[in-house]
Amino acid sequence: MAIIQLGQAFENFFAHRTRFPVFRRKGVDDRFTLTNDLVCIEGERIRIPKLGWVRMREALRFTGRIVSATISCVAGNWYVGITVDIPDATSLPSAENQGAVGVDLGVNTLATLSNGEVFTGPKALCTQLNKLRRLDRSLSRKVKGSRNRAKAKLKLARLHARIANLRRESLHQLTTSITRRFHTIGIENLNVKGMLSNRRLARSLADMSFHELRRQLEYKAVWRGGCIVVADRWYPSSKQCSCCGYRLEALDLGVRRWRCPGCSALHDRDINAAINLKKLAVSSTVSACGGDGAGPTRKRGVKLAPVKQESNSRTLVAGMASFCVSLEERTGGDMMT
């Protein structure tokens, strides 16, 4: 595993993604990987070479062949990540038949669904910001290499780990709830990198973690047999009226409600965008069906050919017949076959 990880590190280096690989230092990146022949798990304990049996907080939740186990230290706590090869028959139950849903992401609220549900993000960084600043100032005052600096560094690392765990827990609850209920999910493709260049919104955007939310939705939908439809980056989900389709020329970020000039309907910005994303997801899944059409129809024994192909063939035969007749008239009936 060390040789494989070294090869991956060199690939990242030559692709200009990371720096030149160096040896790990003790206390900086404490982790190592064990292969399947060196790992043994029984109930709530794991056997590690040269350490023996070590107790775990919970038992392994998956049954299958253990491929590898990575043991790492994060903020003074030791974790083990176990890779298990499970059969296809142990997949999660299919999503409930609650139709399609559109998910609009935002800064004030993490996600707004097309059915009116609103999920407020935990805003873990903003709520712990004062404590984070205090511990950061305390760390900067300590002498480098002293034991007090090591203690202050551990306190700061534990706070960062708590913030990350709060954010990750809320994202897992939200994505699990959406993928469990809805089969077709429409989301938007946000330019997060460009949005982070705004110094007034960068901290709030980073605290919401839009990319992690999309990543969890994609792989959890695959587990339950769902479908994720990603709208184009320039799709006007907020500017377009969900009732009549009227599109505004401009819509400021501070405007949360607007009235459609076409049908005089009053829209909430987030709910209107979620409804448009839902319609886009439904239309995309319908147009992706085969030539027989979409929706529940009676199954036929023989698949009918599309009408377009039949009309093209008749037009081609009629055109060839008229061409042969005109050629025969010009040649006086002496036409070679």
pLDDT reported for residue 305: 41
Catalytic residue among 30, 188, 212, 252: 188
Helix 210-223 × helix 147-181 angle, to 10°: 50
Catalytic residue among 44, 270, 292, 328: 270
* Of 245 and 7, more confident: 7
Highest mean pLDDT among 48-62, 143-157, 240-254, 320-334 belongs to 143-157
pLDDT mean over 19-41: 85
pLDDT reported for residue 309: 42
- Has residue 301 got a pLDDT over 60? no
- Has residue 323 got a pLDDT over 50? no
DSSP, collapsed to helix, strand or coil, labels residue 179 as helix
pLDDT reported for residue 313: 42
- Has residue 216 got a pLDDT over 50? yes
- Over residues 230-263, the pLDDT tens digits come to 988 888 888 888 888 888 888 887 888 888 888 8
- Has residue 334 got a pLDDT over 70? no
pLDDT reported for residue 286: 65
User: What is the rounded CA–CA span in Å between residue 41 and residue 61?
Assistant: 12
- Over residues 46-90, the pLDDT tens digits come to 999 888 999 999 888 888 888 889 999 988 899 999 988 887 655
What confidence category does residue 306 fall into, taking pLDDT thresholds of 50, 70 and 90?
very low
| Contact indicator for 258, 269 with CB cutoff of 8 Å | yes
pLDDT reported for residue 157: 93
pTM: 0.74
What confidence category does residue 196 fall into, taking pLDDT thresholds of 50, 70 and 90?
confident
188 is an active site residue:
yes
Q: What is the DSSP letter of 93?
A: P
Catalytic residue among 104, 169, 232, 328: 104
85 is an active site residue:
no
| Cα dihedral 187→189→192→193 (10° resolution) | 160
Percent of the chain with pLDDT over 90: 30
- Has residue 151 got a pLDDT over 90? yes
pLDDT reported for residue 185: 92
DSSP codes of every residue in 115-147: TS-EE----HHHHTHHHHHHHHHHHHHSPTTSH
88 is an active site residue:
no
Buried b vs exposed e over 167-180: b needs ≥16 C-beta within 10 Å?
A: beebbeebbeebbb
